[in-house]
Amino acid sequence: QVQLVESGGGLVQAGGSLRLSCAASGRTFSSYHMGWFRQAPGKERDFVAAISWSGGVVYYADSVKGRFTISRDNAKSTVYLQMNSLKPEDTAVYYCARSFAMSISAYRGSYHRMGSYDYWGQGTQVTVSS
């Protein structure tokens, strides 16, 4: 059984910062790639950021490059999303997810797809006011 629990969401003014955390249960956290997705009301769930099992490779959606940073601490079984220079369009429910077991080569071609992930957290609300 794998459980992912997001935290750190909240209300912040435009230009502000927020750090999301995703704590994972289980004993094999370090063996899996992790991703962050977000979903705004009436919108599809979109890719935000991803990180390989070792933390050596990271990916970002174009809309958040230069503003968001994904990281992980395998000793704590936790993945983070540092969000800076937040914009109202960043408002969404943010979800963390664990990928299916796959090589880094396979992950490079599929990190942005929801179908590449088998476990999802409940989500945490991020609201950015103007």
pLDDT truncated to tens, each residue of the chain (130 aa)? Answer: 789 999 999 999 999 999 999 999 877 778 899 999 999 999 999 999 999 998 999 999 999 999 999 999 999 999 999 999 999 999 999 999 999 999 999 999 999 999 999 999 999 999 999 9
pLDDT for the residue numbered 26? 74
Query: Over the chain, what HEC string results?
Result: CCCEEEECCEEEECCCCEEEEEEECCCCHHHCCEEEEEECCCCCCEEEEEECCCCCCEEECCCCCCCEEEEEEHHHCEEEEEECCCCHHHCEEEEEEEECCCCHHHHHCCCCCHHHEEEECCCEEEEEEC
